[in-house]
């Protein structure tokens, strides 16, 4: 398996624009997580899904953020409208509902909002 | 709520020496899992080592070992014979039985040649 795949690797956008980040989890994994990483706050869990259903979105900072998982092999994180303070690295991770399994991370998307 | 605390933002170690990174956590659960992840400059998150809370024996993976103190809720990572390639950010992580992960803020480790 190619691992968790995120796209794009880098995104530069202007303030006010819509940004969509994409993630393809590892095949067969039933949990998917979206994290945001910044120097100030470290790794923050934004939202996670189990079997395509959002379980906990309490980490989503504002209504400008939304995430979907239309099927087991694809998820999106959308920011609309984007703001400079959204600049961060966004990670997607997936895992299996087994005990002692770790989360497998994608390479991350570095988002810069100017 | 679960929290994970890494109190050492930055550390350095001489090549071939041993270094210990500290991590404490807070939880009311009795069964959970703990991990150390490494994030090199490439940004990829790499699992270093894992520990099941119900196991008393400390996990070991080659040069990496943990000191798991369940009563104290402490989970430190020891890196022996440090190598230049060990230079990275290290994140301690807690996973509850609901498969939800919580991460510490990370420790930046620099191995000095």
What pLDDT is attached to residue B1? 61
pLDDT at A1 over 70: no
| Summary mean pLDDT of chain A | 91
pLDDT class of B34 with cuts at 50, 70, 90 = very high
Q: Assess A98–B contact: CB distance below 8 Å, yes or no.
A: no
Residue A35 pLDDT exceeds 80: yes
Least confident of A56-60, B4-8, B107-111: A56-60
Residue B59, both tokens: 């996990």
Distance of alpha carbon A27 from alpha carbon B86, whole angstroms: 30
| Contacts A102 to B, Cβ<8 Å | 35, 47, 50, 95
- Residue bearing the bigger pLDDT, B43 or B87: B87
Q: Is A33 on the interface with B (CB under 8 A)?
A: yes
Encoding tokens for residue A6?
């995120």
More confident residue, A97 or B63: B63
pLDDT computed for residue B56 by the predictor: 84
Percent of chain A with pLDDT over 90: 74
Q: Residue B18: what pLDDT?
A: 98
- The whole-number average pLDDT for the span A60-64 is 91
Q: Are A61 and A90 in contact (CB under 8 A)?
A: no
Task: For residue A90, count CB atoms less than 10 angstroms from its CB and return exposed for 0-12, middle for 13-18, buried for 19 or more.
Answer: buried
CA gyration radius, chain A:
13
**Mean pLDDT value of segment A68-72:** 96
pLDDT digits (tens, 9 = 90+) for B58-99: 999 999 999 999 999 999 999 999 999 999 999 999 888 776
Does the beta-carbon distance from B91 to A43 stay under 8 Å? yes
Q: What is the predicted pLDDT for the residue at B102?
A: 86
User: Torsions phi, psi of B100, nearest 5?
Assistant: -90, 130
If one compares A97 and B1, the residue with the highest pLDDT of the two is: A97
Give the per-residue pLDDT at B44.
81
């Amino acid at each position: 398996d190619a691992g968790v795949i995120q796209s794009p690797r880098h995104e530069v956008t202007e303030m006010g624009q819509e940004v969509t980040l994409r993630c393809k989890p590892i095949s067969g994994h039933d949990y998917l997580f979206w994290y945001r990483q910044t120097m100030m706050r470290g790794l923050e869990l934004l939202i996670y899904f189990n079997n395509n259903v959002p379980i906990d979105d309490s980490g989503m900072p504002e209504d400008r953020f939304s995430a979907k998982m239309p099927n087991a092999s694809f998820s999106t994180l959308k920011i609309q409208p984007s703001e400079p303070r959204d600049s961060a690295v966004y990670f997607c991770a997936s895992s299996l509902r087994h005990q002692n399994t770790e989360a497998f991370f994608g390479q991350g998307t570095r988002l810069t909002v100017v | 709520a679960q929290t994970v605390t890494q109190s050492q933002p930055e550390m350095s170690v001489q090549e071939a020496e041993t270094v210990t990174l500290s991590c404490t956590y807070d939880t009311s659960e009795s069964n959970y899992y703990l991990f150390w992840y490494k994030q090199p400059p490439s940004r990829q998150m790499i699992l270093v080592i894992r520990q099941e809370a119900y196991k008393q024996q400390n996990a070991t993976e080659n040069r990496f070992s943990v000191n798991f103190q369940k009563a104290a809720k402490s989970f430190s990572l020891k890196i022996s014979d440090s190598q230049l390639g060990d230079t990275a950010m290290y994140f301690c992580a807690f996973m509850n039985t609901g498969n939800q992960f919580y991460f510490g803020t990370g420790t930046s480790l620099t191995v000095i040649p």
